[in-house]
Amino acid sequence: MPRTARDVVFVDGVRTPFGKAGPKGMYAETRADDLIIKCIRELVRRHPELPVERIGEVAIAATTQIGDQGLTLGRTAGLLAGLPLSVPGYSIDRMCAGAMTAVTSVAGSVALGAVDIAVAGGVEHMGRHPMGEGVDPNPRIIAERLVDESALVMGQTAENLHDRFPQLTKERSDAYAAASQEKYAKALANGKIQPDLVPVATRNSLESQAGPGWGLATADEPPRPGTTIEALAALKTPFRVRGKVTAGNAAGLNDGATASLIAAEDVARELGLPVKMRLVSYAFAGVEPEVMGFGPIPATEKALANAGLTIDDIGLFELNEAFAVQVLALLDHYGIADDDPRVNPWGGAIAIGHPLASSGVRLMTQLAHHFEEHPEVRYGLVSMCVGLGMGGTVIWENPNHEEYGK
C-alpha cells in the first residue's frame, strides 16, 4: 500500500541540572542511569494525558557506553522509569550529537507509522566515565594517516579551527564566551531556565564542598556569573603554548541528562499533548576530524537544502557551544554577527555545560521556548559539532506562526 509520511512534532523536553564532572561535582555519587530515569519519569508526570502504553520506543544516547551508561540504556532506563514492559528501547552513540540523533532516529519511526510516540534523550556522566574511557582505537587510524593525531583531542581540533580561520581570534572567542555567561545569568534571573529542570536527590562525596550528606540538585553548577573578557584573557591555553582555546571560551566537563517526547502530530492532537515544534528537516555531515568544529556548516547547508530554505529563513538559532570558535565559524560563514540576538538568546554550553550526548535535547527544548516567545519567527534550527569530524543540524517550524504548516 502507498504510504504518506506523518508530520513529527516535539511535544516537550526536560533535563536535570547540569553538574561539574569530578569528585567535587554534585553528581559524583549519583548513577548516570538514575539521571535519565528521573527525566523520563518527569515527562510522564507532566503529561497525565499521555497513555504510557502508547509510547513505542525509548532511544537514549551516551558517548561512553560502559558501566551505568551501558546495557542498552534505552531499555533499562525505560524499565526502571516504570514504563510498561511492552515499551522497547535502545542506545545510541554519536558522541556530542547523541540526543540529537536519538530524536532524528525516532522521528523516522514516527513518520513511517511504526511508532506513534517516543522518548528520546541522552545522558553523560563525565565524572564517572571520561570521554574515551575503555576504548581501543585501531592504530591504523593514526599509522595510515587517516586522521591527524590532534583529531582525538577535542581542544586541539578547536585550536586547528583557529589556525584555519585566523579571523576567528582569541579576543572574539573570549568576547563571545563572556556574552554567553551574561545571557545565561539574565535568563536565570528572569525565570527562563528553571521550568525545564528536574530536581535530583544526590549524595555528596567526601570531597564535596557541601561536605558529606544528602543534597538536592536544583540548579546548574557550571555557570560563572560575572565573567569578564579581561578575566578570560588571562586564562591558560592548555592545548597549545600561546594558543587560543581556554577553559573560559569552551564548555567544561559535565554530568547531566535530557529527555524529550516526540510524536506524530495527529496523535499529539488526538491525545491533547502540546505541539511545541514541527520537524522540517535534518542532516548530518562529515568533515576532516582534525577540524571537527567545522561540521555544523555542511550539516546546516544540507538541512537547508533538504527543506528548500535558505539561512535567511531562519529566525532563531540554538548552537551548541562546545567551543566558542566553532560557533563563530558558522556565524562567519553565513555573515551573522557574533552578537546577533537570534543566536542562543539564553546563553549556551559555555555557561550551562555540555554533558556530551545529552546536549541536543537541551538545545531543542530551549528553541521550543523561544518559539513561544517569538510567534513572528517561523523557522529555527539547532546545530552542533561532533567528535571525529561531524556536524548535525535540525530545522524546526514554529506552530505559533500564522503560516504554520502551509
* Predicted pLDDT at 151: 87
* Predicted pLDDT at 80: 97
Question: Which whole-number Å values give the CA distances from 320 to 34, 300, 327, in the listed order?
Answer: 25, 13, 7
Residue 323 DSSP label: B
Alpha-carbon dihedral 169, 171, 173, 176, rounded to 10 degrees: -140
Residues 6+ apart with CB under 8 A from 393: 282, 283, 284, 296, 299, 300, 302, 303, 381, 382, 383
Residue 290 DSSP label: G
Residue-range domain boundaries for the chain: 145-192+279-397
Domain 145-192+279-397 fold: Peroxisomal Thiolase; Chain A, domain 1 (3.40.47)
Cβ atoms of residues 115 and 89 within 8 Å: no
Cβ atoms of residues 327 and 162 within 8 Å: no
* Helical residues (DSSP H) of 245-376, grouped into ranges: 265-271, 296-307, 324-333, 349-352, 359-373
Q: Give the predicted TM-score (pTM) of the model.
A: 0.96
* Predicted pLDDT at 183: 98
Q: Kindly list the catalytic residues.
A: 96, 354, 385
* Predicted pLDDT at 2: 62
**Tens of pLDDT along the chain (406 residues)?**
567 899 999 999 999 999 999 999 999 999 999 999 999 999 999 999 999 999 999 999 999 999 999 999 999 999 999 999 999 999 999 999 999 999 999 999 999 999 999 999 999 999 999 888 888 889 898 888 888 888 889 999 999 999 999 999 999 999 999 999 999 999 999 999 999 999 999 988 777 766 677 899 999 999 999 999 999 999 999 999 999 999 999 999 999 999 999 999 999 999 999 999 999 999 999 999 999 999 999 999 999 999 999 999 999 999 999 999 999 999 999 999 999 999 999 999 999 999 999 999 999 999 999 999 999 999 999 999 999 999 999 999 999 999 997 7
SS3 (DSSP) at 186:
helix
pLDDT in tens, 133-177: 888 889 898 888 888 888 889 999 999 999 999 999 999 999 999
* Predicted pLDDT at 210: 64
